[in-house]
Amino acid sequence: MNKTTKRILASILGISLVMMAAGCGGSNNSNSASSGNGDAAKTKKVTLTITHYFDPSNAEPMEVSNIEAFKLFKQNHPEIELKEEMVAHDSYDTKVKTLAAANELPDVFLISSSMVSNFVDNGLLAPVNDMLDADKEWKDGYLGGTLDNYTVDGKIYGLPNSAGPSSIIYYNKALFTKAGITEFPKDWTGFLDAINKLKSAGITPIALGNKGKWVAQSCIISTLADRVTGTDWFYSLKNKKGAKFTDPEFVEALTKLQDLAKAGAFNSDMNSIDNMQQRTLYYNGKAAMFIEGGWAINGIDADAPQEIKDNTELALIPAVEGGKGAPTAVSGGPGYAYSVNANLSEDKKEAVALLLKTMTGKEEANIAASHGDVPTTKTDNYDKSKLTPLLLKEFDMVNTSQYVPIYDSHLSPAIIESINSGLQELLIQATTPQKLAEKLQKDYDSM
């Protein structure tokens, strides 16, 4: 399983789901919450059940920030008893699907983006549009694209609180200066010009480690293709509403990726080394750039020489002239979100709204950012003292960007394998953009 999938995606395991009956998942509590204003003196006791994978012994930023937000909720709302079930992350998806099949889902639970359609089709999730519509500040705080993975036919079935980009260009400004490049290119033409200048200066422009086959897809083509095709094209393809891999715009995106390879942008052994080795080329000052997700920041902070850290800047894949996609968009987004049991009783709805706002609103975003986790909502008042310069730059970038789909978060594993293998061949010119597009469409149709 590739790194993007581990971070953002958990695959559907095929457990047969049954339609939920009345009385499911702790929905029989007869106590009620009143106005939902958090005043214990004005609200009756209510009990909520929740299942998640946040382990108090785990020091990862996402784990720490969610546990801290739970503590904040309990402090602010003593009138609401929160019964938590913590399940190990590796077992979490199986557990939730088992609960669903047994009609025993809790009131609130985490769900991966890959599960949403299946759960909605089986009537397992309640939409949360009304909760968001009742609080404009909460609703408007979400960054662009963060709710897309959990929206079906205009209804929102999940609220995420952690996300991240899968496509950041990490570049060495000192090497750019050495090659006569004064600023990072703003468009594709300028990017190709920079590639040529770096080559002329004897510097490998982009370190690429695509041995695992996922880097070219998750970290490059998912964003590059969106620059050309626009996001609507991808959803039309995914939902089989007319778009095809053989459409001229997608072929153009493949052509632009191959153009980079033809221009000598990458190291010659790109398909023989992995993403950790691509970073080594960058850390050693032999490459001016590498392209990975936000997760690479921790690696740079921990492993790169100080000179490299001091000279590292962040950028997005430049705008493509004439392309349909937003120039500030970046592939990425959340992998899990808080969802609500479709059979939630009326007397619990206000309490659930309070819980979801605490776990996904501005307060949690500031907690998350203070711990170095990338939130899904805008941050404005968080502790920056413990964050590295690169993390602060990432937060600034995300706050002015919008998320677009990572291919392997949305398409089936079989077609992703076709894409990944095809991109390897494309990079070494063993196939053409048109032939690869035709093969992908043929494979997609057969699935």
pLDDT tens sequence across 348-360? 999 999 999 999 9
Tell me, yes or no, whether 233 and 316 share the same domain: yes
Tell me, yes or no, whether 430 and 361 share the same domain: no
* Domain ranges, residue 367: 3-164+334-380
Residue 394, domain member (yes or no): no
Residue 299, domain member (yes or no): yes
Tell me, yes or no, whether 295 and 233 share the same domain: yes
Residue 130, domain member (yes or no): yes
What is the pLDDT averaged over residues 154-160? 97
Residue 268's pLDDT is what? 96
Lowest mean pLDDT among 221-225, 346-350, 405-409: 405-409
pLDDT of 166-197, one tens digit each?
A: 999 999 999 999 999 999 999 999 999 999 99
Tell me, yes or no, whether 111 and 226 share the same domain: no
Residue for token digits 């709302």? 77
Type of residue found at 213: K
Residue for token digits 């009304």? 130
Tell me, yes or no, whether 59 and 90 share the same domain: yes
Residue 395, domain member (yes or no): no
pLDDT of 335-390, one tens digit each?
A: 899 999 999 999 999 999 999 999 999 999 999 999 999 999 988 788 999 899 99
What's the predicted TM-score (pTM) here? 0.81
Residue 386, domain member (yes or no): no
Residue 372, domain member (yes or no): yes
Type of residue found at 78: P
Tell me, yes or no, whether 111 and 45 share the same domain: yes
Tell me, yes or no, whether 430 and 375 share the same domain: no
Tell me, yes or no, whether 298 and 429 share the same domain: yes
Contact in structure between 422 and 250 (CB atoms under 8 Å): no
pLDDT of 283-323, one tens digit each?
A: 999 999 999 999 999 899 999 999 999 999 999 999 999 99
Tell me, yes or no, whether 157 and 183 share the same domain: no
In CATH, what number is assigned to the domain containing residue 174? 3.40.190.10
Tell me, yes or no, whether 149 and 90 share the same domain: yes
CA distances from 340 to 106, 150, 158, 388 (A): 8, 12, 8, 36
Residue 393, domain member (yes or no): no
Residue for token digits 């960054």? 143
Lowest mean pLDDT among 37-46, 325-334, 412-421: 37-46
In the chain, the number of structural domains is 2
Tell me, yes or no, whether 189 and 296 share the same domain: yes
Residue 148, domain member (yes or no): yes
Long-range contacts of 174-182 (CB under 8 A, 24+ apart): 174/307, 174/311, 175/201, 175/203, 175/285, 175/288, 175/311, 176/288, 178/203, 179/203, 179/288
Tell me, yes or no, whether 158 and 261 share the same domain: no
What is the pLDDT averaged over residues 42-49? 82
